[in-house]
Amino acid sequence: MQEYLLKRLVIAIPTVVGITIVAFLLMYVLPGDPMDILMAERLDPGTVAMLRQEMGLDDPIHLQYVRFVTNAVQGDFGRSYHTGRPVRDMLARALPATIKVSAWAYLISIILGIPLGTYAAVRHNSWADTGTMFLALAGICAPPFVVALFLLYLFGFHIQLFPLGGYGTWMHMVLPAITLGIRPAALLARITRSGMLEVLRQDYVRTARSKGLREQIVIGRHALKNTLIPVITVMGTQISGLLSGSVVVEAIFAWPGMGHMSVEAISARDFPVVQGVVLVSAIIVVVINLLVDVSYGFVDPRIRYD
Partner 1 sequence: MTNTQTGERRFPALHSAGEFLRRAARSKPTVAGAILVLFFIGVALFAPWIAPHSPREQHRDGYDMGLPHPPFSNPKFILGTDHLGRDVLSRLIFGTRISLLVGFGAMAFATVVGVVLGLLSGYYGRHLDMAIMRVVDVIMAFPSFILIMATVGSLRPGILTLFFAIGIVRWAGMARLARSQVLTIKELDYVDAARAVGISDLRIMLKYILPNSWAPIIVSLTMGIAAVILVEASLSFLGLGVQPPTPSWGVMVNETRGYMFLRPSLVFIPSLAIAAAVLGFSLLGDGLRDILDPRLRGQG
22 touches partner 1 (CB under 8 A): yes
The Cα–Cα gap between 218 and 215 comes to: 5
Among residues 80, 118, 227, 281, which is the contact residue for partner 1, using CB under 8 A? 281
CB of 87 to partner 1, least distance (A): 14
Which of these segments, 13-21, 84-92, 199-207, 216-224, binds partner 1 (CB under 8 A)? 13-21
Q: Write out the chain in H/E/C secondary structure.
A: CHHHHHHHHHHHHHHHHHHHHHHHHHHHCCCCCHHHHHHHHCCCHHHHHHHHHHHCCCCCHHHHHHHHHHHHHCCCCCECCCCCCEHHHHHHHHHHHHHHHHHHHHHHHHHHHHHHHHHHHHCCCCHHHHHHHHHHHHHHHCCHHHHHHHHHHHHHHHCCCCCCCCCCCHHHHHHHHHHHHHHHHHHHHHHHHHHHHHHHCCHHHHHHHHCCCCHHHHHHHHHHHHHHHHHHHHHHHHHHHHHHHHHHHHHHHCCCCHHHHHHHHHHCCCHHHHHHHHHHHHHHHHHHHHHHHHHHHHHCCCCCCC
**Interaction pattern, residues 199-238, with partner 1; x per rule: CB under 8 A:** ----------------------------------------
CB of 21 to partner 1, least distance (A): 8
Q: Which is nearer to partner 1, 14 or 212 (CB)?
A: 14
Q: Which is nearer to partner 1, 213 or 263 (CB)?
A: 263
**Interaction pattern, residues 132-171, with partner 1; x per rule: CB under 8 A:** -----xx-xxxxxxx--xx-xx---x--------------
CB of 241 to partner 1, least distance (A): 7
Q: Which is nearer to partner 1, 53 or 200 (CB)?
A: 200
Contacts of partner 1 in 231-270 (CB under 8 A):
240-241, 243-245, 247-248, 251, 259, 262-263, 266-267, 269
Among residues 2, 3, 14, 301, which is the contact residue for partner 1, using CB under 8 A? 14
For residue 303, what are the CA distances in angstroms to 11, 55, 229, 295, 296? 19, 50, 10, 10, 7
Q: Which is nearer to partner 1, 88 or 98 (CB)?
A: 98
Q: Which is nearer to partner 1, 26 or 213 (CB)?
A: 26
Q: Which is nearer to partner 1, 145 or 296 (CB)?
A: 145
CB of 260 to partner 1, least distance (A): 10
Smallest CA-to-CA distance from 25 within 247, 243, 271 is with: 271
Contacts of partner 1 in 95-124 (CB under 8 A):
none
**Pseudo-torsion of CA 46, 49, 55, 59, nearest 10°?**
-160
Question: How crowded is residue 110: how many other Cβ atoms within 10 Å of its Cβ?
Answer: 18
CB of 104 to partner 1, least distance (A): 18
- Which residues of this chain interact with partner 1, rule CB under 8 A? 14-15, 18-19, 21-22, 26-27, 30-31, 137-138, 140-146, 149-150, 152-153, 157, 190-191, 193-194, 197-198, 240-241, 243-245, 247-248, 251, 259, 262-263, 266-267, 269, 271, 274-275, 277-278, 281-282, 285-286, 289
